Chains A and B, each alone.
Chain A
Amino acid sequence: MFEIFTQLADWLAFDLLGLSPSSKLGDAVHFFIEDVSKIYVLLVVMIYAIALLRASLNVERVRSYLAGKNRAVGYMLGAGFGSVTPFCSCSSIPVFLGFTSAGIPVGITMSFLLTSPLINEVAVLLLMSLLGWKFTLLYIVVGMSVGIIGGAFLDAIRAERWLQDFAAKALQQGQQNQPTYSGAGSTSMSFAERHDFAKDETLEIFGRVWKWVIIGVGLGAALHGFVPDGWIEQHLGDGQWWSVPAAVLLAIPLYSNATGVIPVMESLIVNGLPIGTTLAFCMSTVAASFPEFILLKQVMQWRLLATVFGMLLVAFTLVGWIFNSLSPYL
């Protein structure tokens, strides 16, 4: 079913541009055209289809599901909703406060917020088409686990001590009052309304991510065509222990979202970078970014902010080590 994109790339790169299939440049250009065209078509089709399904899900409804749930279930639901609920990352502060003032524990809220950038429909779709369903499943399980365990850890160390004062007060009041939210988005939607929502979503998400696809695939194509064959495998292929924390640290200043980094992952894996190192690098790029963390300063004290950041770095390093040691069995 994806052959049509290979044929398109054959035609454009070799016939129209006259590049030689055996040259480095021809190889890189072919790879770029094939991946970009494939990803664009898949994105438009799948974002629309998924948006139709989830049109009636919003943060207000998630909040009323999560309020008053017991902890163990709460972390799992928090991470689960984090992966499927659409919301703009610029809304993360209002969402944090909205959950907090409903008395939802900080850990459950953070399970939601940590999972959200790691797992979303665009990321899953790209992984499926570029790296196959096994890797995708693995990625989802690991991403959810980081959210669930991270949330539980934050509650275990009583992270709510280090909220900003007004947020801590809102949490206390919420827990005393146990407010109930009714009617939030519970009205059923007609197909026309769903279509409108899905159309807007598709335009909005595509408008946001198309350039990331170009950047990501471009970097991937450069790696693909120009890094000497076997170089990565020779130098980093054994999954040397230090390569994982190095990848995690290297990824911090690289501020990208999942859309940009997944095509790069594909090239890294094809070139022989071990799976654990690649996963650690990718997750760190996506979830540990300074601009987003600085935003959280509005509701968290430095101490909590540093704790969450450190926790993520440790978590991604562990993920890398575990998968490198398991990779012979995968």
Chain B
Amino acid sequence: MKQIKVLGSGCSKCMKTAEMIEKFAAELGADVTVMKETDVQVIMAYGVMSTPAVVIDDEVVHSGSMPKAEQIKAWLA
């Protein structure tokens, strides 16, 4: 099971990113957990400066913008 974290300080883009991932995960029936990480110390520990960022199984796969639908589907596949 993949663990997906969305890093961000709670801005609207971060919320939307998390919602999009959850929506696609449900559509594709992917076996994942999605959570939001808002703690700045944790975000710093991942070395991320531009949010929203996406972390899958502790690896940063995306940062600085809302990911596109194709990207999300590729992560979930």
Contacts and interface: CB of A to CB of B under 8 A. Distances in A.
Interface of A: 58-60, 63, 87-88, 90-91, 93-95, 97-99, 101, 166, 170, 200, 295, 298-299
A98 B47 contact: yes
Contacts of A88: 11, 13, 50-51
Contacts of A200: 65
B40 A94 contact: yes
B28 interface: no
Contacts, number: 53
A90 B15 CA distance: 12
B49 A91 contact: yes
A101 B48 CA distance: 11
Contacts of B43: 94, 97
B51 A94 contact: yes
10 contacts: A59-B64, A88-B50, A91-B51, A94-B48, A94-B50, A97-B40, A97-B49, A98-B48, A170-B44, A295-B9
A58 B50 contact: yes
Contacts of A87: 50
A200 B68 CA distance: 11
Residue in A87, A94, A200 with the greatest tally of chain B CB atoms within 10 Å: A94
User: DSSP class of B's interface residues: helix, strand, loop or mixed?
Assistant: loop
Nearest to A184: B49
A56 to B, nearest CB: 12
A60 B49 contact: yes
Contact of B40 (A58, A63, A93, A99): A93
Interface in B8-67: 8-11, 13-14, 40-41, 43-44, 47-51, 64-65
B53 to A, nearest CB: 8
Q: Which of A58, A90, A98 has the most CB of B within 10 A?
A: A90
A250 B64 CA distance: 35
B50 A59 contact: yes
Given A60-B50, A91-B51, A200-B65, A166 B41 contact: yes
Given A88-B13, A90-B9, A90-B11, A298 B40 contact: yes
Given A88-B13, A93-B9, A200-B65, A299 B40 contact: yes
Given A59-B49, A63-B49, A88-B11, A94 B44 contact: yes
